[in-house]
Amino acid sequence: MKEKEIILKVEDVSKQYRLGLIGTGTLGDDLKRFWYKIRGKEDPFLKIGDSSDRNKSATSDYVWALRNIDFDVQKGEVLGIIGKNGAGKSTLLKILSRITLPTQGQIKTRGRIASLLEVGTGFHPELTGLENIYLNGAILGMTKAEIQKKEDDIVEFSGCKMYIDTPVKRYSSGMRVRLAFAVAAFLEPDILVIDEVLAVGDAEFQKKAIGKMQDISKGEGRTVLFVSHNMASVKTLCTKAIVLEHGSIVFSGGTDEAVSYYLKGGGEVENTKDFDEDYDKAEFKLQNISVYNSGNKVKDVIKESQDIEVKTEIFVKSNTPENLHITYHMTNELGDAMFSFSNHKSGAPLKKGENTLLCNIPAKFLQSGQYFLSLIVVRDRKHAAFVERDIISFTVVDSSREIGEYMGREPGYIRPNFNWSIADD
């Protein structure tokens, strides 16, 4: 066996963002920074700043999206990067793919890095499918000669052969995605950085895409950095994994250990929200909303395979509590409204004083993915006394699929577990 070679080295990488206004938001800070810089001193604002935690309100204007990230990747390794929303995955990807620079630290590489943060970047609607293959391929870093060589394979893989000379604006969205993924699938960089682009297209195409991904990472011995919410695909594809939390690496090691660390919820998650005096209204005071698996703690990761509870703590001041009820609207990560649910005519009406309402969403009903709840407090069954869009968000993960099973996200918004039986003759 050849000795393993380190192909990518991430050294002490940090990224700072300024909250609110950007850059010259304060001229004073900019000048101060400039003055330190021309004297060759360290930026004074790099010393302050909170770690990135979206629940806490910031005590400083500067926030660290990433802090002291250190890891090596060996040639041929498939590294999974897992973490909840806001853990810094996207920022890390952006730095790795040179879209933005780190504030501190450096990344050294021995190979060409290509990133797939999105499929179909730069597609022009007026150009034909074939022209877009060339354009998109070149944007992703391929040369014309390389694309020419793979042209037939790409067209074949996309399944859009018939329409290849038609402008892409006439394509269905599914066809567009297939074409885009086909280009990406034939990218051959030394190091491939992939965001969760697996969840694209229809089920049939997904299978093809995942198969191709497995070929890339396993068969062809490519170095891949893979970011995903889908624990099942991380487990299948990756050889090593790191877990990010609030901008720092909290776990690094084997894939199985990393996944179970993540699922156990190594730290707090953002599935709970306390409300301050802004939510103290004339008729009620909203106190807390939490979403969690029944029987688990609030800080644990929410799994698809267990019941999900939505807990609402609300203090009702109105003397006619029977006229009030609460309604939630649920939207998915694309912003599509999925359904609404309410305690109206349920066994849990609002009473005057403290209320702690529980709503149970059965296991295997929600797909893995991110969801947003909007809260509406309704008066007299028709007036909205209070509305807040996306008052809380939570992520449901799919943790339980066996290796060898279909790894993509199932199509559709929900994934109910219907009863199946064998008919008696």
Q: Which residues bind another protein (CB under 8 A)?
A: 3, 5-6, 9, 17, 22-24, 94-112, 115, 117-118, 121-122, 124, 126-127, 131, 134-135, 138-144
Strand arrangement, sheet containing 78-83: 113-116, 191-194, 223-227, 78-83, 240-245, 248-254
If the CB atoms of residues 142 and 289 are measured against another protein, the closer one turns out to be 142
Chain-centre distance for alpha carbon 170: 30
If the CB atoms of residues 104 and 343 are measured against another protein, the closer one turns out to be 104
Backbone angles phi, psi at 20, to 5 degrees: 70, -130
Q: Report in angstroms how near the CB of residue 271 gets to another protein at its nearest.
A: 28
What span, in angstroms and rounded, lies between the C-alpha atoms of 47 and 102? Answer: 15
If the CB atoms of residues 42 and 274 are measured against another protein, the closer one turns out to be 42
Is residue 312 a contact partner of residue 357, using CB atoms and an 8 Å limit?
yes
Is residue 273 a contact partner of residue 392, using CB atoms and an 8 Å limit?
yes
If the CB atoms of residues 194 and 407 are measured against another protein, the closer one turns out to be 194
Q: Report in angstroms how near the CB of residue 184 gets to another protein at its nearest.
A: 11
Q: Report in angstroms how near the CB of residue 43 gets to another protein at its nearest.
A: 9
If the CB atoms of residues 185 and 373 are measured against another protein, the closer one turns out to be 185
Q: Report in angstroms how near the CB of residue 84 gets to another protein at its nearest.
A: 22
If the CB atoms of residues 6 and 384 are measured against another protein, the closer one turns out to be 6
Q: Report in angstroms how near the CB of residue 118 gets to another protein at its nearest.
A: 5
What span, in angstroms and rounded, lies between the C-alpha atoms of 105 and 14? Answer: 6
If the CB atoms of residues 92 and 376 are measured against another protein, the closer one turns out to be 92
The DSSP-derived string for 359-378 is EEEPTT-BPSEEEEEEEEEE
Q: Report in angstroms how near the CB of residue 134 gets to another protein at its nearest.
A: 6
Q: Report in angstroms how near the CB of residue 151 gets to another protein at its nearest.
A: 14
| Residue 152 burial by Cβ neighbours in a 10 Å radius (0-12, 13-18, 19+) | exposed
Residue 128 — left, alpha, or beta (φ > 0 → left; ψ -120 to 50 → alpha)? Answer: beta
Q: Report in angstroms how near the CB of residue 389 gets to another protein at its nearest.
A: 24
Is residue 231 a contact partner of residue 82, using CB atoms and an 8 Å limit?
yes
If the CB atoms of residues 94 and 409 are measured against another protein, the closer one turns out to be 94
Q: Where are the alpha helices (DSSP H) in 254-319?
A: 255-264
Neighbours of 181 (CB within 10 A): 26
What SS3 class is residue 82?
strand
What span, in angstroms and rounded, lies between the C-alpha atoms of 306 and 372? Answer: 19
Distances (CA, A) of 334 to 53, 250, 370, 416: 23, 29, 9, 20
Strands annotated E in 261-301? 272-274, 284-293
If the CB atoms of residues 44 and 267 are measured against another protein, the closer one turns out to be 44
What span, in angstroms and rounded, lies between the C-alpha atoms of 217 and 231? Answer: 16
What span, in angstroms and rounded, lies between the C-alpha atoms of 243 and 263? Answer: 11
Q: Report in angstroms how near the CB of residue 392 gets to another protein at its nearest.
A: 27
Backbone angles phi, psi at 28, to 5 degrees: -60, -50
Q: Report in angstroms how near the CB of residue 215 gets to another protein at its nearest.
A: 23
Q: Report in angstroms how near the CB of residue 148 gets to another protein at its nearest.
A: 10
If the CB atoms of residues 118 and 152 are measured against another protein, the closer one turns out to be 118
Helix 129-139 vs helix 173-185: crossing angle, to nearest 10: 50
If the CB atoms of residues 76 and 105 are measured against another protein, the closer one turns out to be 105
What span, in angstroms and rounded, lies between the C-alpha atoms of 195 and 230? Answer: 11
Tokens of 13: 């990488």
